[in-house]
Amino acid sequence: MDYRTEYEKWCTDSYFDGDTRAELKAIAGDEAEIQDRFYRQLEFGTGGLRGIIGAGTNRMNIYTVRQATQGLANYIISQNGQEKGVVIAYDSRIMSPEFAGEAALCLCANGIRAFVFESLRPTPELSFAVRRLSCIAGIVITASHNPREYNGYKVYWEDGAQITPPHDKNILAEVGKVTDFGQVKTMEKAEAKAAGLYAVIGKEIDDCYMEELKKQSVHPEMIKEMSGDIRIVYTPLHGTGNIPVRRLLSELGFSQVYVVPEQEMPDGNFPTVPYPNPEMPEAFELALKLAKEVDADIVLATDPDADRLGMYAKDKKTGEYVSFTGNMSGMLIAEYILRERSLAGTLPKNGVLVETIVTTDMAGAIAEAYGVKLVEVLTGFKYIGEQIKLMEQTKDEYVFGLEESYGCLAGTYTRDKDACVAVMMLCEACAWCRKNGITLWDAMTDLYEKYGYYREGLHMLTLKGMDGAAQIQAIMAKLRENPPEKIGAYKVLAFRDYKNDVRIELASMEKSATGLPESNVLYYELEDGGWCCVRPSGTEPKIKFYFGVVGADAADAGEQLEALKKALLALAQPQD
């Protein structure tokens, strides 16, 4: 793409509105900014779009949203799915309602009915609605936990999960064919409504979704018994979680729920946090302040589209609030569900626990302890959602799924990670702990003592723009072409290259297939239970380094983890 030619076109073509042309003319003297906005088409990945809001081909705007939707519409028509329709939801981010509207009207102009939520909703409710309404697809406008300047567009298929093969590649190909904005259809909203193509949905789906959430509770009677003794602090971080989470906790019987007032209302500027990500300590500053004032037992934060959940819990011995990683909170929920369902006799004999390859290996130990099968999938919750669909065709039964990045799902009512159900399960586990005279932190310590001191880490390197993308490719090429025999003090036992679908045992050089779909991911199996993994982010200009160890105790695990991190990052540095 000749970025200069494309820039001039956007500045002068009357197809683009006046505000768009004015925004671009204002950067006429900034060649680097022009290049970044136009050096490529905003990539429609295997899940959809994500990018900085603004004018340009490499930005999220009404034109790139329409373009992507036209490609999706073409694919839906090729599958004869236009009569089923598409559900559309959106979060609190800047331009989310506008992008949702543009997507809907493009679908309508192609003869595809659009079911649009009346106001912002969590991403997992969109996944639920796709199946509830028997639609062919779903779209959610969100950039999840990205910084405020981002927005995004995720596509779901009729099984309720984000698109997976073959639909992801086929939709990607159709979007790639829409090379000219003249190919994009749209229509007026009034016209679409009059034709019966534009429908507004809301309360009826909310009520059904809420009932399914409550069904996932293992001991609803215990919640009512203990709820008055549990103090919960919650923040939606200016996102979609406020209404559904508060409703859920209230209907379950939790009576002492304190919502951070400064972060209660939706606001795409996220004025109280630098980054609306519940993985980051900064996101919890106001929540922890409130927690200390009310002596909370548990502190919870959901990201803007309410599919990820961060957590702190009080350590009664020190009086301090302790941060839980996504691996830790996920393991607490997994152990609670498996233990309590096993004791109640409701744990299926063919039960399955699903996790991604970069999630804690403690999951395997817990699965073995309760006699359930462990299935590992590629990074991305869509692969966990896909497993639910596959299990419906076998004798296996999904029990719980999780990924390290603060996402999990109990039940199969939706096919994406759901922070609402995670809130419910952690609050229920907190009530169980109180009834048994312990805290959530005590319960976590018990898991370490029972299964081993598993510790995991993640380091992200941000490399923006055209040069950054080239650097990320260079790092992946270096590690792929020269797999190390040792990483720090750890001997590499096996190397997996998911892009080339090969696993190599280094001692014998014996090769086998990975058994998972093609993906630009490298994985190193290390001695003594260690591991590490490298992959480019699919949504941000970053390369991610994951690593995990098992220690003799907490201190040993921490020391091993830090040493492995340093060794892995040193390995990825450019050679002199």
Strands 298-302 and 232-235: parallel
Q: Say which of 92, 127, 144, 519 is annotated catalytic.
A: 144
List the structure tokens of 521.
Answer: 């991911």
Tell me which H or E stretch contains 88.
strand 86-90
Q: Please state, in angstroms and as integers, the Cα–Cα distance from residue 524 to each residue in 70, 122, 484, 529, 568, following that order.
A: 40, 35, 9, 11, 10
Residue 432: CB atoms within 10 Å? 20
Tell me which H or E stretch contains 192.
helix 189-194
Q: How far apart are CA 301 and CA 523, in angstroms?
A: 31
Backbone angles phi, psi at 557, to 5 degrees: -60, -40
Contacts of 325 by beta carbon, 8 Å cutoff, 6+ apart: 404, 406, 456
Q: How far apart are CA 156 and CA 154, in angstroms?
A: 7
Contact between 369 and 337 under an 8 Å Cβ cutoff? The reply is no
Contact between 328 and 445 under an 8 Å Cβ cutoff? The reply is no
Cβ-based burial of 563 (10 A; exposed 0-12, middle 13-18, buried ≥19): middle
Contacts of 483 by beta carbon, 8 Å cutoff, 6+ apart: 492, 495, 504, 506, 522, 524
Which DSSP state fits 574?
P
* DSSP-based three-state secondary structure for 43: coil
* DSSP-based three-state secondary structure for 330: helix
Closest to 446 measured CA to CA, from 458, 436, 457: 436
Closest to 239 measured CA to CA, from 183, 203, 176, 283: 283
14 is catalytic: no
Which residues does residue 258 pair with via DSSP β-bridges, in sequence order? 233
Which residues does residue 373 pair with via DSSP β-bridges, in sequence order? 352
Active-site positions read 144
